[in-house]
Amino acid sequence: SLLYNRVKDLEKLLLTFRDMENGCREHILFLYRYWQICITESLEDGLNRTLELNNKLKHPLELEEVVNATASAEKYYLSGKIFRCTNAYVIDALHISQEEMKELSVFISSDERVSRKQERNKKAYSEMLKKLGKLSKEAQIKQRRKAVCKMILNGKTQQEICQKLNIS
């Protein structure tokens, strides 16, 4: 599934952000073709899917250029050597920006990974509070401030307010 998700990220990166002359299209197509060959275990399918992706571009490369620029993907696969590259390598080689990472699932920096985890944790905490029928700290403070304002408008003293709301 890692290869599949990498391929999906490359598709999104190419179609959404890099459909231009200086967008590392050749390098993206090389990686795409190599990983497609690894997924399908077919040189022909890898090439066909790469050509299909190229044809989806607004500014596609010439057929011969795609074949030549990605031919080494077949060589790597046939050599039996595994072309290992980390996500960090891909991010660096393709100059993937923070904005682009927000749309991707695999090729993300550690900062983006931490940010996503924090967001998931926040959402899970909110859902847990909702299930328990509790309010978040912010909501509790807001509710208490409203109560204090009402009591002030009703002429209560500071001591009465503190005593009634059990606060200092």
- Of residues 18 and 63, which shows the higher confidence score? 63
pLDDT recorded at residue 24: 87
Residue 89 is inside which H or E element, if any? Answer: helix 87-93
CA–CA gap between residue 155 and residue 119 (Å, rounded): 43
pTM of the model: 0.76
CA–CA gap between residue 132 and residue 148 (Å, rounded): 25
* Tokens describing residue 116: 């996503």
Q: Per 3-state DSSP, what percentage of the chain is helix, strand, and coil (rounded to 5)?
A: 70, 0, 30
pLDDT recorded at residue 38: 92
For the segment 35-44, what is each residue's pLDDT rounded down to a tens digit? 999 999 999 9
By C-alpha distance, which of 81, 101, 72 is closest to 9?
101
For the segment 82-138, what is each residue's pLDDT rounded down to a tens digit? 778 889 999 999 999 999 999 999 999 999 999 999 999 999 999 999 999 998 888
User: What pLDDT band is residue 53 in, cutting at 50, 70 and 90?
Assistant: very high
**DSSP designation for 16:** I
Q: What's the chain's average pLDDT?
A: 91
CA–CA gap between residue 134 and residue 140 (Å, rounded): 9
Q: What mean pLDDT do residues 130-156 have?
A: 91
pLDDT recorded at residue 104: 94
Contact, 35 vs 67, CB < 8 A?
no
Q: What mean pLDDT do residues 23-40 have?
A: 92
